Amino acid sequence: MDLKEELGNFLDQLKQLKGVESVVLAQRDGNLIEYAGIWPSKDDISNMSSAASTIYNLGIQMSSQVLKYILIDGKKSKVVIAPLSSPLHPSLKEQGIFDDSYEFFITMIAQPQINLGGLFLQSNDWLKKIKTTIFTSGTFKTALINEFNINEHQASSSLDLSEPVSLELEKILKNLSRAVPELYFAYIVFDGVIISRLITKSTNLRSINLDNTAKMSYSLFQIANRCVWLLKKMKADTILLDYESSFQFIYGLEKAIFSVEIGKMRQKLGLIRLIIPQFLQRINKLIQDASGKHISLDNTMNKTKKKRKRGKTTELLPPTKLALFFKLLNEEKYEEAAELVNSYDTNDYVIENDSLVHWTRVFSIRAGIRPWEASFKEKDLMTFKFEKFTKEEFLNKADSEDIESLYYGNKKFLKKDLNLIFNFVEAPAIWLPMKFAPLVIQNNEVSVYLAPGPAKF
């Protein structure tokens, strides 16, 4: 059996895996080695191999970390690009066979619902066999790779952002960093130029040139978009670059991209996928307004305020759906939880860790009943005493009230916030703090933490 036939058999085995439609094996310079699956023409396979090679090399160049795989996600398909990185058997090294983890890579085109973890688990042995066969054949010379040429000239963006819009974009990125504790950096790129950025203290600035990384990210997304359009007549929604100790996400926006790098130690991939889209909607709206409709942020905010005065605030999930949302979140069924949230108009809330947080940041909602006893200890070990009431007892307990607020000693709570919470927390137990601490409203399904405001004296 010759080399081409042997590799073809291995790729056929990969194609037999559930959800895999076609497979391409190539060298780092884009040299097509073998393929499996149905393609319209040999030119299409060559074009795919060349485009995947460019994406692959950009992914390697964008970080000093080891690249594990690249995932291009769209509505009709998933495209996985991964190096043949499994180490060679020690006996081969003794024979003088040099191991290069990046020299060869595989591209798998799969159905959109495929389980990525299962795919890697099932394909691992075949990828090892492919790599061993290639390296022991002695047929392929090391490819010569030219790094992505970055124009160091700092171009100006064609998007003219007003100061309110720029400040709002910065605010969104800062809120994202609070929701995702291990965020290293985030940036928005319009026509290849960064228009907003955030670099956290945990980022090692010596090892990264954010402007260059942003240009490469923008190019990578553009190439990937053209690639999947030729393949499936679809747009790329998201690109995930899985590195040794971090994830980098690239999202397509209207004439722009949004990219963020997040460490792996404190965040699960599924939860990150659920959190980020909550912020993307607002980023995309601001960019659309600035680039096309030219609606100012001030006008947008005024319209929102007018709607709120008329009482047309965004409705939260109904109580039964809210309980189901947290149940799915606790079971780590993140995609189902996202679909549930997206089926309702919930733009007034963002997801932060295991909580739903209102846009005003006045109250947050968590799943289940919390173990409130007689006190609540803060980080400084100060203890705040609580009194427990029913809803009726709590309302009657107020020292005073006006049209908008209820007053309890040196604390006040807005009636509109309380009414909104009472709409979805049925038959609540209420824990009133004796000092300045959150009010806790809870039943068996959810616990709500409501921040008090200072009372008027």
> In this predicted structure, what is the pLDDT of residue 339?
65
Q: Which of 169-183, 218-232, 315-329 has the lowest mean pLDDT?
A: 315-329
Q: What is the separation of C-alpha 242 from the centre of its chain, rounded to a whole number of angstroms?
A: 12
User: Which superfamily does 163-211+244-309 belong to?
Assistant: Dynein light chain 2a, cytoplasmic (3.30.450.30)
> In this predicted structure, what is the pLDDT of residue 216?
92
Residue 134 three-state SS: helix
Pick from 186, 255, 188: nearest CA to 222: 255
- At residue 366, does pLDDT exceed 80? no
More confident residue, 312 or 357: 357
Contact 253, 196 (CB under 8 A): no
Which position has the token pair 């080695």? 33
Neighbours of 69 (CB within 10 A): 20
360 secondary structure, DSSP code: T
> In this predicted structure, what is the pLDDT of residue 34?
92
More confident residue, 119 or 350: 119
CA distance 35 to 24: 4
Q: Is 290 exposed, middle or buried (0-12, 13-18, 19+ CB in 10 A)?
A: buried
| Paired tokens of 26 | 């190539």
> In this predicted structure, what is the pLDDT of residue 404?
84
Every domain of the chain with CATH number 3.30.450.30 lies at: 3-137, 163-211+244-309
Q: What is the mean pLDDT of residues 320-324?
A: 67
> In this predicted structure, what is the pLDDT of residue 143?
61
- At residue 316, does pLDDT exceed 60? no
- At residue 292, does pLDDT exceed 70? no
> In this predicted structure, what is the pLDDT of residue 160?
75
More confident residue, 90 or 49: 49
Quickly name the fold that domain 3-137 has.
Answer: Beta-Lactamase (3.30.450)
Residue 108 three-state SS: strand
CA distance 227 to 274: 26
> In this predicted structure, what is the pLDDT of residue 411?
79
Q: Which DSSP string corresponds to 168-188?
A: HHHHHHHHHHHHSTTEEEEEE
- At residue 314, does pLDDT exceed 50? no
| Paired tokens of 200 | 């956290």
- At residue 161, does pLDDT exceed 90? no
> In this predicted structure, what is the pLDDT of residue 261?
94
> In this predicted structure, what is the pLDDT of residue 409?
77
What average pLDDT does the chain have?
A: 78
Residue 402 CA neighbour count, 13 Å, CB half:
7
